[in-house]
Amino acid sequence: MTQNLEFHPAESPADRWRQGELVEITITDLSDSGDGVGRSGERVVFVPDTVTGDRVVVRLLRVKPQYAQGKLHDIIEASPHRIRPSCIVADKCGGCQWQHVDYDYQRVAKRNQIIQALERIGGFSQPPVGEVLQAESLGYRNKVTYPLSRSQSGQLQAGYYQKGTHQIVNLNQCPIQDQRLNPLLAEVKQDLYDRGWGIYDEKLHRGKLRHLGLRIGRRTGEMLLILVATDTNLAGLEEQAQQWLERYPDLVGVSLNVNRDRTNAIFGSDTHIIAGRSYLEEKFSDLTFQIRADTFFQVHTESAEALFQVIVDELNLQGTEIVADLYCGVGTLTLPIARKVKYAVGLEIQPEAIDQAKANARLNHIENVKFHIGPVERVFSTLDVDPDIVLLDPPRKGCDASIIETLRDTKPKRIVYVSCNPATLARDLKLLCADAQYQLMRVQPADFFPQTAHVECAAFLEIREG
C-alpha cells in the first residue's frame, strides 16, 4: 500500500498538471505500444509496466495539454491479469513490454488492438475479428541479434537496450529465445572478450564489433552465428570460428557482416562466410528452406505456420488458381501455396531474397512459380498474369497507394492481407473496401511476438459481385 504520498486523485480538466507530481489512476486499457492507459480527470495517462485493472500511483514525467506519460511509482491494487515476470531483468530490459501480463490477457489485448484500429481508422462496424491464435509464449524466438558494449569495469556486454535508452542490459540467457541458444550467448561473449577485439562505440563511431547474432532452425536444430563489425580486420577470426564449429555440433556456419555506417540499422550490405555454410536449413509447412543469418524469416516459426494453415483452409484451394504473392521475401508463403495452385508468382524488391526464393523452389522441386525483382508498386502492374488471388504481406508502413489502386483496377477475386501493423492494415482495408468493391470477410490474428504488444493477422477480402 502507498503511504504518506502527496498524490492527486482524479483531477478536473481545469487543474494544472505538474511534471514530477504523483497521481492515482486506474488502468483501463493497453495501448498498441504496450503501455497501460488510464485517466486523471479528462486527461489520458500512459504508464509502462501496468496492465488493465491495476490501481496505481504514477509519477508524471512528461506533461502535455491532453495527455501525460508517467512512471509506475506504486501498485495500490494489482490487476487479476498481473503476474510475476519470467525474466529477472524484465523491469529493465526493453526486449519485452508484457512479461507482467498473463498470456491469456495478452491475446485479449492484441485482439482489441485490431478491432479498435479497424473501427477507428478503417470505419468498419463490428469487424469480423477472430480470437488470437494461441502460441508458445516463452522460448520461441528463432533469431536474436544483440548489440555489444563494454561496462565501466571493461567487461563485454550483450543484451537488449534498457527501456527508453541505449544502455545495454547485460544478458547471459533470455527466456524468450530458443533455449538451445542460451549456452552460445554466455560462452561466445567470453570468447569475444578473450580475443580482445574492440567494441563499437556508437557515440564516438569508433571500434569494431557492433552486434552478435544467433539463429536456429526450430525443427532442424541447425544454428548460425553472425558477428556485425565495422570492418573485416579481426585477428584470429577464422581460428575462433573453427573452434565454435567444433564446440557446438549444431552450429553449421559462422559469418561476418560489415556495417561501416553511422546508423541504427543492424546489418550492412556485405556478409562474408568465415566457416561452414552461409545458411541453415529449416522445415516449414512440409518444405525445406535455406535461411541465411541476415534473411528475413518470421521469428516464431510455429505461429507463422499456424497462420499459414488458416490461410490455406480459408482459401479452400482447388488447384486451378493463379496466385500473386506481393512482398514474397524468400518464398515462405509463395512456395507452400504454389504446391496447391496452378501457378504462382512472387514479387520482392530485395535481390538477395529473390535469389533465396529461387533456391528454395529448386530445393523443393517446385516449378510452377516465378519470382520477379523490383519495387512491388512498379512490377505488379507489369505482370503478364491475371491472378485470382493476391497475397499481401507488406512492411509495417503498409501498401503503397499505387498498389491499392492497381488491385482495385485489376479486381482479383480474393485478397489475403497479412499485416504486422493494425493501423496501416485498417487504412489499406478502408481503401480496398471503398465504394463496396471488396468485402472484409474475416480477420485472423496470430501471436508472432508473445510478451510484446506486437500482433500479426491475416485479413480475407472477397470482391463483391455485380
Q: Residue 440 — very low, low, confident or very high, per pLDDT cuts 50/70/90?
A: very high
Tens digit of pLDDT for each residue in 166-175? 889 999 999 9
Distance CA 391, CA 461 (A): 11
Is the pLDDT at 225 greater than 90? The verdict is yes
Mean pLDDT of 268-275: 95
| Other CB atoms within 10 Å distance of the CB of residue 251 | 22
Distance CA 84, CA 241 (A): 39
- Ramachandran quadrant class, 49 (left: phi over 0; alpha: psi -120 to 50; beta: rest): left
For every residue of 148-202, DSSP letters joined together read EEE-TTS-EEEEEEBTTSS-EEE-S--SSB-GGGHHHHHHHHHHHHHHT--B-BT
Find the largest Cα–Cα distance for the chain. Answer: 74
Q: Residue 15 — very low, low, confident or very high, per pLDDT cuts 50/70/90?
A: low
Determine the CATH number of domain 143-284.
2.40.50.1070
| Residue 347: closest CA among 357, 338, 361 | 357
The reported pLDDT for the residue numbered 151 is 86
Distance CA 422, CA 303 (A): 18
11-15, 81-85, 120-124, 207-211, range with the lowest pLDDT:
11-15
Is the pLDDT at 10 greater than 90? The verdict is no
Total-model pTM: 0.92
Cell numbers linked to 425: 492494415
The reported pLDDT for the residue numbered 12 is 47
Instruction: For strands 168-170 and 456-463, give the pairing.
Output: unpaired
**Which of 87, 93, 96, 420 does the annotation list as catalytic?**
420
CA dihedral (397, 64, 99, 115) positive or negative: negative
| Residue 143: closest CA among 307, 267, 285 | 267
The reported pLDDT for the residue numbered 4 is 43
Which residues make beta-bridge pairs with 43? 40
300, 307 Cβ separation under 8 angstroms: no
The reported pLDDT for the residue numbered 92 is 86
171, 182 Cβ separation under 8 angstroms: no
Instruction: For strands 251-258 and 270-276, give the pairing.
Output: antiparallel
The reported pLDDT for the residue numbered 289 is 97
**E-assigned strands of 7-66?**
7-8, 22-30, 36-40, 43-47, 55-63
354, 329 Cβ separation under 8 angstroms: no
Better pLDDT: 418 or 151? 418
| Residue 75: closest CA among 159, 2, 172, 20 | 2
The reported pLDDT for the residue numbered 66 is 87
Mean pLDDT of 327-338: 96
Q: What percent of the chain has pLDDT over 70?
A: 96
Is the pLDDT at 11 greater than 60? The verdict is no
Active site residue 420: yes
The reported pLDDT for the residue numbered 42 is 80
179, 138 Cβ separation under 8 angstroms: no
Is the pLDDT at 305 greater than 90? The verdict is yes
User: 7-77 and 143-284: same fold?
Assistant: yes
Mean pLDDT of 94-118: 96
Cell numbers linked to 337: 501455396
Q: Residue 381 — very low, low, confident or very high, per pLDDT cuts 50/70/90?
A: confident
Cell numbers linked to 459: 485479413
**Residue 306: strand, helix, or coil:** helix
SS3 content of the chain, % helix, strand, coil (to 5): 25, 35, 45
169, 180 Cβ separation under 8 angstroms: no
Cell numbers linked to 306: 499456424
Q: Which phi and psi angles does 59 have, rounded to 5°? A: -95, 125
Mean pLDDT of 365-370: 98
Cell numbers linked to 177: 529465445
Q: Return the CATH class of domain 7-77.
A: mainly beta
Which residues make beta-bridge pairs with 288? 283
Sequence ranges of the domains in the chain: 7-77, 107-136+298-463, 143-284
The reported pLDDT for the residue numbered 5 is 44
The reported pLDDT for the residue numbered 466 is 61
Q: Return the CATH class of domain 107-136+298-463.
A: alpha beta
Cell numbers linked to 423: 493501423
The reported pLDDT for the residue numbered 94 is 84
The reported pLDDT for the residue numbered 17 is 78
96 membership: H or E segment, kind and range: none
Cell numbers linked to 265: 540499422
Q: What percent of the chain has pLDDT over 90?
A: 84
> What residue type is assigned to position 405 of the chain?
E
Mean pLDDT of 5-22: 62
Distance CA 223, CA 248 (A): 9
Mean pLDDT of 227-248: 97
Mean pLDDT of 210-224: 98
Tens digit of pLDDT for each residue in 449-458? 999 999 999 9
Distance CA 344, CA 346 (A): 7
Interior CA angle at 313 toward 312 and 315, to 5°? Answer: 65
Tens digit of pLDDT for each residue in 66-75? 899 999 999 9
306, 271 Cβ separation under 8 angstroms: no
Mean pLDDT of 412-422: 97
Helical H segments across 59-157, by residue range: 103-120
Is the pLDDT at 3 greater than 60? The verdict is no
| Other CB atoms within 10 Å distance of the CB of residue 365 | 7
